[in-house]
Chains A and B, each alone.
Chain A
């Protein structure tokens, strides 16, 4: 068996009862044997981006912690809600900080995207905005299967455990596909 792939997941919601955080917590259980998924260092304490702060006091320590975690990871999975038909501002702020570091770590980094929403579209509008940002950052964004968990309240139980079999099947398929994609694009046999 080839080496284990170390993948980090970044959640776009800070809410305790978030369906996306619940999905993120469930991922390690759905990952193929050769993939280890762990939660990325948090971005909740990041200040709002200001280039002047970056130039005077440098990058906040929390930003650098996330940057280094992305740098050493074999891949990154964003698990995030959609806010106002687009990327949550908090997550975008985190991406903006990370993108300004010299040799920004998303370049050539395999990235997968998942989203859960209460509505029927499952965060699709948000995902295509993240994909645009990832184009600029030269990330290697995984294509299909895409994971849109619509009507999320029907797919998680009271304890926020993912119960919907169809969703689980797609998530597993994506993770298997993502593992193969990482090996292909990174040359990790």
Chain B
């Protein structure tokens, strides 16, 4: 039995205000079990394109902040669109920076993945690319249930961007419950 909530950092791969993925990220606390306390990483837009020469002279503050936020969290949930059948450069660039920090904080970090897309594959191509990238930095990735929100435009309210689709809500809830157990095992906070 957890004696305190697990601290989970949510990272969104889109910067767009009307993003379905950002909307899903905002909805997560409603579906999370009581053992998970969610907080949000700052938007990734302030992180410049990765340059090892720049990093050698010191990490930008935005990179330091993200690194610290990841390091201090018990786990991560990455909610991201798919851009051009792969990981958004927005998100991949942030991961690249953080992965090159000394004692990079993804190592051993439990991670769950979610994606929304307007098409019929729901961002799955992105997720499998992301799994591969996270493997290289030795994150602990939750295997199932997977969350692919397909035809996202039909599953959120037009105006409020509230998640309205019940099967999607159920799927997200199932994943978060499984993730809570996974996190508990990974962090040995029983």
Mark A residues whose CB is within 8 Å of B. 13-16, 43-44, 46-52, 83-96, 99, 125, 129, 132-133, 135-137
Contact = CB atoms under 8 A, between A and B. Distances in A.
Nearest to B88: A96
Interface string B143-154: 000000000000
Contacts of A129: 86, 129, 132
B135 A89 contact: no
A14 B49 contact: yes
B60 to A, nearest CB: 12
A90 B15 contact: no
Given A49-B88, A51-B16, A99-B83, A90 B49 contact: yes
Nearest to A94: B89
A84 B89 contact: no
B51 A15 contact: yes
B53 interface: yes
Nearest to B55: A15
Given A96-B89, A125-B132, A89 B94 contact: yes
A92 B93 contact: yes
B15 A89 contact: no
A86 B16 contact: no
A48 B132 contact: no
Given A15-B52, A129-B86, A89 B136 contact: no
Contacts of A13: 52
Given A87-B92, A89-B89, 16 more contacts: A15-B53, A50-B16, A51-B14, A51-B15, A83-B50, A84-B99, A85-B133, A88-B50, A89-B96, A89-B97, A92-B86, A92-B87, A92-B89, A93-B92, A96-B89, A132-B86
Interface residues of B, number: 41
B90 interface: yes
A64 B45 CA distance: 20
B84 interface: yes
A51 B18 CA distance: 9
Contact of B49 (A44, A133, A137): A44
Interface in B28-69: 44-54
A96 B15 CA distance: 13
Contact of A86 (B49, B51, B85, B87): B87
B93 A90 contact: yes
Contacts of B8: none
B16 A52 contact: yes
A153 to B, nearest CB: 15
Contacts of B133: 84-86
A85 B136 contact: yes
